[in-house]
């Protein structure tokens, strides 16, 4: 386990390491004594600051590379940290995720502590949970299995066991198909199956490492001698399980630097909490706090909007103590850019088409590469309309953190059902009602479930299919009305839409949308976009029910939705679009409200809303954006004026 300290392969002077750091980054890099908390806003160079801290400590002889453990949450972030450290001449540093570091230690010590074959790691809990439920004769489906897996993961990162989970289940919205008692029984059966088959899951890796070090002081001393200096990135996302492991590694020492931003806490539903970041000064006496507020990523229009969004939040008496922290006020170092664009569209289809047109303008007129453009949304099901619009416009795209719409299991199942049922139709069916009947057999209802998780995701995917069929039927009806109003000799009247046509159209979309793409526009959920940035970002579907999401009902949950939008805004470097629809969100009907968060940061537009309803649509300007004046408000129902 113990690594021999190695000399850097090439030396960089301490002064060179500090060159180019701003005063606050320099403070992070040079103040090496005692515990440090770095509160770092989006785009403020936190990775630069902490890698230079490690490199500077090594350069002046305070640190030895192999004695430093730098922890982060994703493999991509760990690799980026290793690359930067190597470039700074800081060799031998262990930059790993919590799970990677724990697994390395667990596997190393297993032969001498436990002996025998090292357990296999469960890559997917669903199959084991299925067996556990079958043992108990509890029926499940694919979406329920995903929800159960999420609940078990949440319980384990909260340090709960099957014996103690009932104490905390009231904090979670259980799927309607499962009772608390059955949840507990499935959890226990799942754990029993793992034990029988010598399996462990990812949470067990941390739990077993903790147990091993807590029960064997000699092993703990070995690990603590190996790792004497700790740096933890994205500390606002640490869970009770990860904090417990960190405490065991530290063993009462305080040579630790943590970096985080409570305003970017967006994973509370998984068990993450900003409590440890906010309470750091109480946990570590003499802790020094440095704030990084100079934003090097985004132009001032983007930064000012992000600041206003957080500042507009108002306290609520029912909020929990750690739900919200005073936000950092960022200061753009890039100066003025282009105005933020605000657009309200008639419906989802027009929103998707408008976004595709704006993306084409960015590529063709402004020279922005497709890979520097992202469309971000709250739920993965929202990608369906965007995928179709981009495919129709021949704009390459790629999905991040989710399967393409027609590759999702619930969509594949629905397509099979629609294809099979279409064979028995005679062409006289009402396709919208027929589609609802078929998908109703798979769990579709007009009103979506209030709870989140896989059950909600399945409904959203089915609702997106229903919406596609509704749009096909509406388009055919408009064609029929146009023909009857202006009949042309020799042109036959359009026939009613049939299920055979519906299935053929959906099949075509499936093949078209799933063509391999490279160097494309990124489509991603707001959660999947965390830690990334693009030159241009479109935030779509900013309506009540999506932002905040329907099942965000408590003040704490609404606060998290606000933070999620903040994360989305701060992904943009130069161009930013905020879009919403006036009617027909996925699966819905009637009028829709734009997000309350937009009203918070743009009250003038809220006042003009009633005056502008029903305005006509007109074409956009064809000038390049660099010389283009503010867009006419007539283009999008008078929601189109640039901010």
pLDDT in tens, 179-225: 999 999 999 999 999 999 999 999 999 999 999 999 999 999 999 99
- Buried b / exposed e over 349-374, threshold 16 CB at 10 Å, is bbbbbbbbebbebbbeebebebebbb
Task: Please name which of 328, 397, 322, 400 lies closest in space to residue 356, comparing C-alpha atoms.
Answer: 397
> What pLDDT was estimated at residue 343?
93
pTM for the predicted model, two decimal places: 0.77
Quick check: 24 pLDDT over 90?
yes
Q: Determine which of 221-235, 556-570, 618-632 has the lowest per-residue pLDDT on average.
A: 618-632
CA pair distance 400, 74, nearest whole angstrom: 14
Segments of 447-585 assigned E as strands: 521-525, 534-539, 572-581
Tokens representing 68 are 């430093």
> What pLDDT was estimated at residue 603?
57
Share of the chain above pLDDT 70, in %: 87
Which SS3 state, helix, strand or coil, does residue 320 take?
coil
Cβ neighbours of residue 525 under 8 Å, at least 6 residues apart? 376, 377, 378, 379, 380, 401, 402
Mind listing the domains of the chain with CATH numbers?
14-104+205-292 (3.40.50.300), 122-197 (1.10.10), 302-402+517-636 (3.40.50.300), 409-512 (no CATH)
Peptide bond into 548 cis (omega under 30): yes
Residue with tokens 């590759």: 407
Q: What is the DSSP letter of 566?
A: H
Would strands 572-581 and 534-539 be described as parallel, antiparallel, or unpaired?
A: parallel
CA pair distance 621, 642, nearest whole angstrom: 13
Quick one: which H or E segment has residue 257? strand 256-260
What average pLDDT does the segment 547-562 reach? 93
Compute CA distances 168 → 67, 160, 164, 328, whole Å. Answer: 38, 8, 8, 32
CA angle 636, 600, 464 (to 5 degrees): 55
User: What is the biggest distance separating any 2 CA atoms in the chain, rounded to whole angstroms?
Assistant: 93
Quick one: which H or E segment has residue 419? helix 409-422
Compute CA distances 66 → 62, 97, 234, 570, whole Å. Answer: 12, 16, 22, 35
Write phi, then psi, for 523 (nearest 5 degrees).
Answer: -110, 125
Could you tell me the pLDDT band of residue 60, with boundaries at 50, 70 and 90?
very high
CA pair distance 442, 378, nearest whole angstrom: 23
């Amino acid at each position: 386990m113990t690594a021999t300290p190695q000399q850097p392969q090439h030396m960089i002077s301490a002064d060179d390491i500090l060159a180019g750091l701003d005063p606050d980054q320099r403070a992070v890099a040079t103040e090496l004594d005692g515990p440090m908390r770095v509160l770092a806003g989006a785009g403020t160079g936190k990775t630069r600051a902490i890698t230079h801290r490690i490199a500077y400590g090594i350069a002046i002889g305070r640190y030895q590379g192999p004695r430093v453990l730098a922890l982060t949450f994703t493999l991509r972030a760990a690799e980026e940290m290793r690359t930067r450290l190597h470039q700074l001449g800081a060799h031998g540093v262990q930059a790993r995720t919590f799970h990677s570091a724990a697994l390395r230690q667990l596997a190393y010590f297993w032969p001498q502590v436990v002996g025998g074959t090292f357990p296999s790691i469960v890559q997917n809990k669903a199959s084991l949970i299925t067996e556990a439920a079958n043992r108990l004769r509890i029926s499940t489906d694919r979406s329920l299995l995903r929800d159960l897996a999420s609940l078990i993961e949440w319980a384990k990162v909260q340090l709960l066991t099957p014996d103690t989970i009932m104490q905390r289940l009231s904090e979670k919205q259980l799927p309607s198909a499962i009772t608390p008692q059955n949840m507990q029984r499935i959890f226990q059966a799942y754990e029993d199956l793992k034990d029988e088959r010598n399996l462990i899951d990812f949470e067990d890796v941390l739990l077993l490492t903790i147990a091993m070090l807590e029960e064997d002081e000699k092993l703990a001393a070995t690990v603590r001698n190996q790792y004497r200096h700790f740096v933890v990135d994205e500390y606002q996302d640490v869970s009770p399980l990860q904090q417990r492991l960190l405490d065991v590694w530290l063993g009462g020492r305080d040579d630790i630097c943590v970096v985080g931003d409570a305003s970017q806490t967006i994973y509370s539903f998984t068990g993450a909490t900003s409590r440890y970041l906010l309470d750091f000064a109480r946990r570590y006496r003499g802790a020094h706090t440095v704030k990084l507020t100079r934003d090097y990523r985004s132009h001032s229009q983007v930064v000012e909007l992000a600041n206003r969004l957080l500042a507009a939040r108002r306290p609520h008496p029912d909020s929990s103590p750690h739900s919200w922290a005073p936000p950092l006020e960022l200061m753009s170092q890039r100066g003025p850019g282009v105005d933020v664009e605000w657009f309200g569209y008639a419906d989802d289809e027009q929103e998707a088409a408008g976004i595709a047109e704006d993306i084409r303008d960015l590529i063709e007129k402004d020279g922005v590469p497709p890979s520097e453009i992202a469309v971000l949304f709250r739920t993965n099901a929202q990608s369906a309309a965007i995928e179709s619009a981009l495919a129709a416009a021949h704009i390459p795209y790629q999905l991040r953190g989710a399967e393409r719409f027609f590759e999702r299991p619930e969509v594949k199942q629905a397509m099979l059902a629609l294809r099979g049922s279409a064979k028995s139709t005679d062409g006289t069916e009402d396709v919208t009602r027929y589609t609802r009947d078929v998908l109703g057999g798979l769990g579709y209802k007009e009103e979506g479930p209030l709870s989140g998780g896989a059950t909600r995701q399945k409904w959203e995917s089915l609702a997106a299919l229903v919406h596609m069929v509704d749009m096909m039927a509406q388009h055919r009806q408009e064609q029929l009305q146009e023909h009857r109003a202006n009949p042309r000799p020799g042109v036959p009247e359009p026939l009613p839409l049939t299920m055979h046509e519906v299935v053929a159209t959906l099949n075509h979309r499936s093949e078209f949308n799933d063509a391999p793409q490279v160097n494309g526009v990124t489509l991603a959920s707001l959660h999947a976009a965390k830690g990334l940035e693009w030159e241009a970002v479109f935030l779509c579907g900013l309506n009540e029910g999506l932002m905040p999401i329907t099942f965000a009902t408590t003040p704490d949950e609404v606060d998290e939705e606000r933070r999620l939008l903040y994360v989305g805004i701060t992904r943009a470097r130069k161009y930013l679009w905020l879009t919403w629809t006036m009617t027909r969100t996925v699966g819905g009907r009637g009028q829709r409200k734009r997000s309350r968060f937009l009203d918070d940061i743009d009250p003038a537009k809220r006042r003009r809303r009633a005056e502008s309803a029903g305005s006509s649509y007109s074409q956009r300007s064809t000038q390049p954006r660099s010389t283009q004046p503010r867009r006419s408000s007539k283009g999008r129902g008078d929601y189109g004026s640039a901010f």
